[in-house]
């Protein structure tokens, strides 16, 4: 655990990519194989499941620290992180140990099968033998909330340095449904056949947003335009007479979309498609709102299959006849994709996502303005001669999204943030006018800069009307422009609507409460864009 804590400190205390990569590469070259595997798993989101609830952890920590529980609860919002709060209040450890990361993870995994007394004994023994940093990391693993500033790209680069293998190969090896509890370092990293698992997807190629005019990309003839669909990005794999569906977040979703089981009847073995999973209606792709019912469902009842059937809208091909074709230019991959899709049944679950023909950048800009009518978020621009790369790369693929929808709203509640923003009010609830009333409709915590957060924090402290635990009701005075990507009906909300990806676009200090939008305005947007 000492080595893992040293790695954490090296990563956490530096903003330089080179320092983080070097620290990871050194760890992968020197740590035990089991610790290496679990480090890769943790940094790629394969964290152990929570085995002790946070209420018990709070109680145990206050007991060991010899402080009343109310004092712990008052301290927690100030620190902003439960694992760190516990690590800070505990007394100095009595003994030290050289046990590694994998030992402590195995201890945590074993807690799922024991009673509360055994869990408490194990946790308290760990706290008594780990120093402050190690305790913090142990607590993060214990609560299932371990997050650290290491991207998949940094990790694969470090593994490439440590092993002398290609970075793209490392990224591919880490994809798929592997389990750190049963996978060995040799099987994951050193095995000669990186595609031995028939279900393994490829790393997704991600686009950057355009920050300038599209005409700066050069000759429009060099580019292919497509609609940027608002669905679930995924890969559909057909290998060994079986099919697999993966999300961009490396989640295996095959069972969640039984419609695609028929794909293996028409798509040849050795095929991997990249595309968008969309709810499909009589008039084509539907809005993301229709997809909400199916997100998070492990099983899908027949009624929901009928109400929200899905299709796989394919726009790229990564493997054909068992051969990785990602290095072929987009034009060639697209031609193969079109040829295959033209042989598929029209009513089948896999369809070809069309390109958007255009002559000039001005012409394309005009077409982009019609994206919402096409139930899209904007456009994707891809260089025709581009290979399919791994991760987010600049140059060949760009997303050109529509401007977000906006509405002016009144701040009515405020809550402190977490971590480095624990001393600032950063989480706000907003309302629109309805006659003489203010109706809450959205919560958000992003969009302002630190100086603006400090100013609004000072104002909140002086203008608090009531307190509800960590939440403060404030004088309805300040108006903010709220940006969002979509709107849908929601009977769970008092306003009757829910927003997709709401954030503060700007603080409208030039407007009063009477200038804010109304509930009627919100309902008009719902009827137009919902």
What would the pLDDT profile of 78-119 be if each residue is shown by its tens digit? 777 788 889 999 998 888 888 888 898 888 888 888 889 998
**Cα separations (Å) of 515 from 433, 484, 507, 512?**
9, 19, 13, 5
Q: What was the pLDDT predicted at 505?
A: 92
**Cα separations (Å) of 149 from 11, 123, 171?**
7, 26, 18
In whole angstroms, what is the distance from residue 473 CA to residue 10 CA?
Answer: 41
Reduced DSSP (H G I as helix, E B as strand, rest coil) percent helix, strand, coil of the chain, to 5: 40, 25, 35
Percent of the chain topping pLDDT 90: 42
Q: What was the pLDDT predicted at 482?
A: 95
| CB of 35 closer than 8 Å to CB of 102 | yes
| CB of 304 closer than 8 Å to CB of 294 | yes
* pLDDT-derived band at 151, boundaries 50, 70, 90: confident
Q: Is the pLDDT of residue 479 over 60?
A: yes
What does 77-94 look like in DSSP terms, one character per residue?
Answer: HHH--HHHHHHHHSPPPS
| CB of 430 closer than 8 Å to CB of 412 | yes
* pLDDT-derived band at 433, boundaries 50, 70, 90: very high
Q: What was the pLDDT predicted at 163?
A: 86
What's the average model confidence in pLDDT over 445-471?
89
In whole angstroms, what is the distance from residue 433 CA to residue 480 CA?
Answer: 13
- HSE (side-chain half, CA atoms, 13 Å) at 213: 9
**Cα separations (Å) of 43 from 19, 24, 39?**
17, 11, 6
Lowest average pLDDT, out of 86-90, 91-95, 149-153, 350-354, goes to 149-153
- Count the residues in the chain: 530
Q: What was the pLDDT predicted at 463?
A: 94
Question: What six digits make up the tokens of 273?
Answer: 């498609």
Q: What would the pLDDT profile of 367-408 be if each residue is shown by its tens digit?
A: 999 998 888 999 999 999 999 998 888 889 999 998 889 999
Lowest average pLDDT, out of 147-156, 180-189, 264-273, 465-474, goes to 147-156
Return the CATH superfamily for domain 2-143: DNA ligase, ATP-dependent, N-terminal domain (1.10.3260.10)
Q: What was the pLDDT predicted at 486?
A: 84
What's the average model confidence in pLDDT over 337-344?
93
**C-alpha closest to that of 289 among 484, 487, 485, 495:** 487
Angle formed by the axes of helices 82-89 and 69-79, nearest 10°: 120
CATH fold match for the domains 2-143 and 405-529 = no
Question: What six digits make up the tokens of 213?
Answer: 């005019």
In whole angstroms, what is the distance from residue 516 CA to residue 507 CA?
Answer: 12
- Domain 205-401 adopts which CATH fold? D-amino Acid Aminotransferase; Chain A, domain 1 (3.30.470)
| pLDDT, mean over the chain | 88
Domain boundaries along the sequence of the chain: 2-143, 205-401, 405-529
Is the domain covering 405-529 a CATH 2.40.50.140 domain? yes
| CB of 352 closer than 8 Å to CB of 278 | no
Q: What would the pLDDT profile of 488-525 be if each residue is shown by its tens digit?
A: 888 888 899 989 889 999 999 999 999 999 999 999 99
Q: What would the pLDDT profile of 461-477 be if each residue is shown by its tens digit?
A: 999 999 887 889 999 99
β pairing state of 242-247 and 232-239: antiparallel
Q: Is the pLDDT of residue 454 over 50?
A: yes
What's the average model confidence in pLDDT over 426-433?
94
* Cα distance between the two ends of the chain: 51
In degrees and rounded to multiples of 5, residue 167 shows phi and psi of -65, -40
Q: Is the pLDDT of residue 62 over 70?
A: yes
Tell me the sheet residues that pair with 310: 279
Residue 19 CB coordination number (10 Å): 13
* 517 contact partners, CB below 8 Å, separation of at least 6: 407, 408, 409, 432, 433
| CB of 428 closer than 8 Å to CB of 443 | yes
Question: What six digits make up the tokens of 8?
Answer: 């954490």
**C-alpha closest to that of 129 among 95, 86, 103, 98:** 95
In whole angstroms, what is the distance from residue 290 CA to residue 307 CA?
Answer: 9
Q: What would the pLDDT profile of 220-235 be if each residue is shown by its tens digit?
A: 999 999 999 989 999 9
Quickly tell me which residue has 């091909």 as its tokens.
Answer: 317
User: 81 or 23: whose pLDDT is higher?
Assistant: 23
Most confidently modeled range among 96-105, 284-293, 351-360, 491-500? 351-360
In whole angstroms, what is the distance from residue 27 CA to residue 161 CA?
Answer: 11
Q: What was the pLDDT predicted at 194?
A: 47
């Amino acid at each position: 655990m000492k080595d893992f804590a040293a790695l954490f400190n090296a990563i956490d205390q530096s903003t330089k990519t080179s320092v983080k990569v070097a620290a990871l590469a050194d760890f992968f070259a020197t740590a035990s194989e089991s610790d290496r595997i679990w480090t890769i798993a943790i940094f790629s989101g394969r964290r152990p499941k929570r085995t002790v609830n946070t209420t018990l952890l709070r109680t145990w920590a206050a007991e060991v620290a010899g402080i009343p529980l109310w004092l712990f609860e008052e301290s927690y919002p100030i620190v902003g992180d439960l694992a760190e709060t516990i690590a800070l209040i505990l007394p100095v450890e009595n003994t030290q140990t050289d046990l590694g990361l994998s030992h402590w993870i195995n201890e945590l995994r074993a807690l799922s099968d024991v009673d509360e007394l055994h869990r408490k004994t194990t946790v308290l023994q760990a706290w008594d033998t780990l120093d402050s940093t190690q305790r913090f990391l142990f607590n993060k693993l214990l609560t299932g909330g371990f997050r650290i500033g290491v991207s998949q790209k940094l990790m694969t680069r470090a593994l490439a340095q440590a092993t002398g293998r290609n970075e793209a190969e490392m990224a591919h090896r880490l994809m798929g449904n592997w389990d750190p509890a049963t996978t060995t370092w040799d099987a994951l990293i050193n095995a000669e056949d990186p595609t031995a698992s028939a279900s393994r997807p490829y790393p997704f190629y991600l686009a950057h947003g355009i920050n300038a005019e599209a005409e700066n990309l050069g000759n429009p003839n060099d580019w292919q335009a497509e609609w940027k669909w608002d669905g679930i990005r995924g890969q559909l794999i057909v290998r060994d007479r079986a099919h697999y569906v993966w999300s961009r977040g490396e989640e295996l979703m095959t069972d969640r979309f039984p419609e695609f089981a028929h794909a293996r009847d028409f798509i040849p073995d050795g095929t991997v498609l990249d595309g968008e999973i969309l709810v499909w209606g009589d008039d084509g792709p539907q809005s993301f709102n229709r997809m909400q019912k199916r997100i998070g469902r492990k099983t899908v009842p027949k009624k929901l299959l009928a109400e929200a059937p899905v299709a796989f809208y394919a726009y790229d091909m990564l493997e054909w006849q068992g051969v990785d074709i990602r290095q072929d230019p987009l034009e060639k991959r697209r031609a193969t994709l079109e040829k295959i899709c033209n042989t598929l049944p029209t009513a089948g679950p896999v369809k070809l996502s069309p390109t958007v023909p255009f002559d000039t950048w001005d012409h394309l800009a005009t077409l982009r303005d019609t994206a919402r009518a096409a139930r899209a978020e904007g456009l994707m621009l891809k260089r025709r001669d581009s290979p399919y790369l791994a991760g987010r790369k600049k140059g060949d693929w760009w997303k050109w999204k529509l401007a977000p929808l906006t509405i002016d709203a009144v701040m009515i509640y405020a809550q402190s943030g977490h971590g480095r923003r624990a001393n600032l009010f950063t989480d706000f609830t907003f309302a629109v006018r309805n006659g003489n009333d203010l109706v809450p409709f959205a919560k958000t915590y992003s969009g302002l800069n630190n100086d603006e957060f400090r100013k609004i924090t000072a104002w909140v402290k002086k203008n608090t009307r009531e307190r509800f635990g960590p939440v403060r009701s404030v004088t309805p005075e300040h108006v903010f422009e709220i940006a969002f990507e979509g709107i849908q009906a929601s009977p769970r909300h008092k306003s009757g609507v829910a927003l997709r990806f709401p954030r503060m676009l700007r603080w409208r200090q030039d407007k009063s409460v009477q200038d804010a939008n109304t509930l009627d305005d919100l309902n008009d947007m719902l009827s137009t864009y919902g």
